[in-house]
Structure 1
Amino acid sequence: MEMLDLLLRALDTAIPVLVTVFLGLFLAGMLMELGVLDRLSVLSKPLVSMANLPSISASSFLVSLGSAVAANSMIAEFKMRGALDDRETVLCAMMNSIPVYIREILTYQIPVVVPLLGPVVGLFYAGVFITTAVVKILIVIALGRLMLRGGDGAEISWESPRRTRSPPEATLKILRTQMRPFARISITYIAMTLLVLSLNDHGFFERLSVLPIAQTFGISPEAIVPLTTYVASPLLGISLLSPMIQSGSLTEVQAATVLMLGSMFMLPIFAMKSMVPNYTAIFGARIGLMIVMISTGLSVMVRAIFLLALLSIG
Structure 2
Amino acid sequence: MDIAHIWQALGWPLLRLLGSLALGLFVANLIEALNWTRFLARLAAPIIRVGHLKDVIGASFSMAFFSGVAANSLLAEAYGQGKLTDRELVLANLFNSLPTYFLHLPQMFFITVPFIGPRAAATYVGLTLAAAVARSAAILVYGRLVLPPLPDGCVVCHLTDDAFSWKKALAKAWKRFKRRLRSMVLFTVPVYVLFHYLAVWGAFEAMERFLAAHLGFLSWMTPQAVSIVVFQIAAETSAGLAAAGAMLGAGDLDHRQVVLALLVGNILSTPMRAFRHQFPYYAGIFKPKVAARLIVHNQALRAASLVAVLIGYAVLS
Sort the TM-score into its range (normalised by shorter chain): 0.7 to 0.9
Please point out which of 151, 155, 158 is paired with 1:156.
Answer: 158
Q: Alignment partner of 2:284: what SS?
A: helix
Question: 1:295-306, aligned counterparts within 5 Å?
Answer: 295-306=298-309
Name 2:95's counterpart in structure 1.
95
Once the two structures are TM-superposed, the CA of residue 296 in structure 1 deviates from its matched residue by 0.6
Name 1:181's counterpart in structure 2.
180
Once the two structures are TM-superposed, the CA of residue 44 in structure 1 deviates from its matched residue by 0.9
Task: Tell me: CA distance 1:97–1:2, structure 2 relative to 1, closer, same or farther (3 Å).
Answer: farther
Once the two structures are TM-superposed, the CA of residue 173 in structure 1 deviates from its matched residue by 2.5
Does 1:257 find its partner at 2:260?
Answer: yes
Task: Tell me: CA distance 1:93–1:305, structure 2 relative to 1, closer, same or farther (3 Å).
Answer: closer
Task: Tell me: CA distance 1:313–1:251, structure 2 relative to 1, closer, same or farther (3 Å).
Answer: farther
Cα distance between partner residues in 1 of 2:2 and 2:149: 53
Name 1:194's counterpart in structure 2.
193
Task: Tell me: CA distance 1:7–1:247, structure 2 relative to 1, closer, same or farther (3 Å).
Answer: closer
Name 2:130's counterpart in structure 1.
131
Alignment-mate amino acid for residue 158 of structure 2: I
Does 1:141 find its partner at 2:140?
Answer: yes
Cα distance between partner residues in 1 of 2:21 and 2:124: 30
Name 1:104's counterpart in structure 2.
104
Once the two structures are TM-superposed, the CA of residue 253 in structure 1 deviates from its matched residue by 2.8
5+ residue gaps, structure 2: none
Cα distance between partner residues in 2 of 1:286 and 1:148: 24
Please point out which of 220, 229, 232 is paired with 1:230.
Answer: 232
Cα distance between partner residues in 2 of 1:309 and 1:38: 39
Q: Aligned pairs, how many?
A: 310
Name 1:247's counterpart in structure 2.
250
Once the two structures are TM-superposed, the CA of residue 163 in structure 1 deviates from its matched residue by 3.3
Cα distance between partner residues in 1 of 2:130 and 2:68: 20
Does 1:293 find its partner at 2:296?
Answer: yes
Name 2:285's counterpart in structure 1.
282
Once the two structures are TM-superposed, the CA of residue 286 in structure 1 deviates from its matched residue by 3.1
Superposed CA offset, 1:125-150 (max 9, x none): 11221122122112211221222212
Cα distance between partner residues in 2 of 1:7 and 1:235: 26
Contact kept? 1:22, 1:182, Cα under 8 Å: yes
Once the two structures are TM-superposed, the CA of residue 246 in structure 1 deviates from its matched residue by 2.4
Task: Tell me: CA distance 1:293–1:40, structure 2 relative to 1, closer, same or farther (3 Å).
Answer: closer
Taking only the aligned residue pairs, the percentage that are identical comes to 23
Contact kept? 1:132, 1:298, Cα under 8 Å: no
Task: Tell me: CA distance 1:124–1:187, structure 2 relative to 1, closer, same or farther (3 Å).
Answer: same
Alignment-mate amino acid for residue 212 of structure 1: A
- When the two structures are superposed, what TM-score results if normalisation uses the length of structure 1? 0.86
Cα distance between partner residues in 1 of 2:8 and 2:255: 44
Cα distance between partner residues in 2 of 1:5 and 1:184: 28
Contact kept? 1:6, 1:198, Cα under 8 Å: no
Name 1:83's counterpart in structure 2.
83
- When the two structures are superposed, what TM-score results if normalisation uses the length of structure 2? 0.85
Q: Alignment partner of 2:293: what SS?
A: helix
Once the two structures are TM-superposed, the CA of residue 61 in structure 1 deviates from its matched residue by 1.6
Contact kept? 2:21, 2:281, Cα under 8 Å: no
5+ residue gaps, structure 1: none
Once the two structures are TM-superposed, the CA of residue 259 in structure 1 deviates from its matched residue by 0.7
| Root mean square deviation, CA, Å | 2.9
Name 2:29's counterpart in structure 1.
29
Cα distance between partner residues in 2 of 1:3 and 1:48: 50
Superposed CA offset, 1:76-121 (max 9, x none): 111111121111111112222321212222x124433245323442
Alignment-mate amino acid for residue 138 of structure 1: A
Cα distance between partner residues in 2 of 1:81 and 1:309: 42
Once the two structures are TM-superposed, the CA of residue 224 in structure 1 deviates from its matched residue by 5.2
Task: Tell me: CA distance 1:245–1:11, structure 2 relative to 1, closer, same or farther (3 Å).
Answer: same
Contact kept? 1:264, 1:303, Cα under 8 Å: yes
